[in-house]
Amino acid sequence: MTTTDKANGSLKTDIVVYVCILALSGLQIILAYQHAGGAQLMARMLALALIQAGLGVMYFMHLRDERRNLRLALIPATIFVLLMMNMIWSDSFRLLHMRPFMK
């Protein structure tokens, strides 16, 4: 029997996760209106979005029910690529502060 064939949790769990994801979305909106913009707000927003994504991937997409080697094949590679994209920020700040295109 494959993991696909297993019964994946209960509908009750799905509803709890659904409510959590909606509540986190609501929290994002409250945070957006309570704080002015900036790096701290963006970090909080991203943290909440990551929690939502984690809940969705593990419970809605049932990755937690799959074999560990599937999780190991998918998750670290994705995180590595996304982390490597952070190299762009130094150039973005260079544009902001040094204004190389200003006349």
Alpha-carbon gap, residue 31 to 34, rounded angstroms: 5
- Cα–Cα distances (Å) from 72 to 28, 78, 87, 103, in that order, read 30, 10, 24, 51
Q: Within 37-96, which residues bind other proteins (CB under 8 A)?
A: 37, 41-42, 45-46, 48-49, 52-53, 56-57, 60-61, 66-67, 69-70, 73-74, 77-78, 81-82, 85-86, 88-89, 91-93, 95-96
Half-sphere CA count of 40, side-chain side, radius 13 A: 4
* Length of the chain measured in residues: 103
The site for other proteins (CB under 8 A) is made up of: 2-5, 7-8, 11, 14-15, 18, 21-22, 25, 28-29, 31-33, 36-37, 41-42, 45-46, 48-49, 52-53, 56-57, 60-61, 66-67, 69-70, 73-74, 77-78, 81-82, 85-86, 88-89, 91-93, 95-96
